[in-house]
Amino acid sequence: MTNEISSRCGIRCDQCFILRANVEKRDRRAEICATWNKLGIGTFDPAVIICDGCLSEGKCLSAGAGKTRPCVIKKGIPHCGYCDDYPCDDFNEHEPDPVEFYKEMESRGTNWTSEDDKMMEPYNPKSVIDDWRKNNGFSK
């Protein structure tokens, strides 16, 4: 198998800006919190937000981990990419239709930039898992 995934749901924890190990190397929580705050899904405080990753026994803040983490543990698989039911109703795709997304940002008066797009790349698990499945001979 190639391109192993370092999370249960497909989020690129190795590139995550709030993963404790990454924060200890270079703290970019203020940047990602500013981007997340533009989404209008909550208020994120860079002073307190930290994640240990869904492969740990510690705190995991991934939105996708809420349903996928217990599911893949129960099924005994490393991540959703191995599941015969992928993608299922429990899989949190995180990736809205780009045209609709940009229309929504514009209608709210949000200045969404290419830098915001770049900051969000680690948090697009459907693309990560789809690529992994393609590179590892899984169909569907």
Q: Would you kindly state where each structural domain of the chain is located, as residue ranges?
A: 13-135
Distance, in Å, from the CA atom of 67 to the CA atom of 48, rounded to the nearest integer, reads 23
- Could you read off the pLDDT of 54-64 as tens digits, one per residue? 887 767 776 55
Mean pLDDT across the chain, nearest whole number?
85
The type of residue at 128 is: V
Q: Taking the model in full, what pTM does it have?
A: 0.79
- Could you read off the pLDDT of 11-50 as tens digits, one per residue? 888 899 999 999 999 999 999 999 999 988 889 999 999 9
Q: What Å distances lie between residue 15 and 40, 110, 134, CA to CA?
A: 23, 25, 21
